[in-house]
Structure 1
Amino acid sequence: MMKKTLSILFLCLAISSFSGCGGSGNTTASQQKESKLEQKAPSPKTVSKDNTQAIKSGMGIDDDTAKKVDAILLSVGINDLTKIDGTPSMGYMIESPLLGKAIAVAYGNEAKEITKIVYKNVTLYENGKVLSNISSGNLTNSEKHTAMNYAEREVKKILKDPASAKFPGSYWVSKSNNIISVVGYVDAKNSFNSMVKSKFRVDFNKDWKVEGIEVDGL
């Protein structure tokens, strides 16, 4: 019985040494598997490289310039480019899932260096300075309705005949650097008692206080 037990023990030790089985062997195999998975995981450089290649191809520029453009786009929140195409003078049309159905436009100089980026009529970047971000320009429906109602109220205050004011209801509402701007038109009587159409713009801060107001002809 003693010989049989020793034989089994030696056999087990031999198998463990040859195959790498056992507690420590299983741990090593698991670690090797995790290491391989980690090596396959994409790094930030891969994402940046994809953007750089799209920029390089779309703008017809070299690697260094493309990397600079990529850095500028990232600074205003634009990433995961699907298309960039155009000319420095007319502007480069930029498409990305992050922009939704809208398109950002980047303008450049003769060296094809980006000098200005516009998204939804809001300037995000100009002359080396980041002015806004694509996320900061997003407005909720509630904010838009509040802005339009407040804008009508403020415009009426400076009209010659507030009671005659009629707003077509078509507005452009934007947000940049925590300033909400409303642009639209109003039909109202002037000093000669004639109905005229005037363009207006009202700027509000985050507390809905008026930062500026302009009405054509006033």
Structure 2
Amino acid sequence: MADKTPPRARKRPKQSRSLFTVNAIQQACLKILRDEGADKLTTQRIADVAGVNIASLYQYFPCKEAILSDVYDAALDDLAQLARQRFTEIQARANASLREGLAAIIDMECEQLLVLQELEPTFFKEYQHNFDAHQRIDQLTQSLNNPSWETWLDDWLCKHECTGNPKLRNLLLRQTLQGNLRIAVQQHPELLASNEFRDELLNLLMAYLQATPKPTNAS
């Protein structure tokens, strides 16, 4: 079954007054989520907090979910910038050892998901696949002529003497990491903040990378 696509804005503002209105709506949405909770989030409440007429809100957004989509897009941009700033730290830990590098990656992954999940848990659970931090990070890094996240991870893993087919090994490692994090978001989001969960996920990945392959039976 195809992933659900969230509602989006009716149109994008071009004039300064329109930009101000849309920004006020986005900031009002964030304020309500932060101060009152997702249960209080309605289009009328957003319009009231933003100080705009409800008709003006509907001129740009068909529903509150479309506003949330804009808020999530802005959050992804912020996470991409933060990942860029943290890359030196992650690279240093990655150079130290395989375990340190994976621990840094897991920490960043969990922290990114925590930011997105805590904004509006129900919305993010339903539309998680549409708000991919990796994709947004790749857009930023490649615009700066840097390698994609996937390319960097594969190149880094290939520098370590792990067992098995490197291409297949790296693919399975990425899928295992992303799969476990996706399930955590869907079923146990509180685990994202758990050091025990992160340690167990790290142990799982390390055990896979360092496993001794079974000898092939001679025919």
Same fold (TM over 0.5): no
- Give TM class, smaller chain: under 0.3
Q: Which has the higher strand share?
A: 1
Q: Which has the higher helix share?
A: 2
More contact order relative to length (CA 8 Å, sep ≥ 6): 2
TM-score (norm 2): 0.24
TM-score (norm 1): 0.24
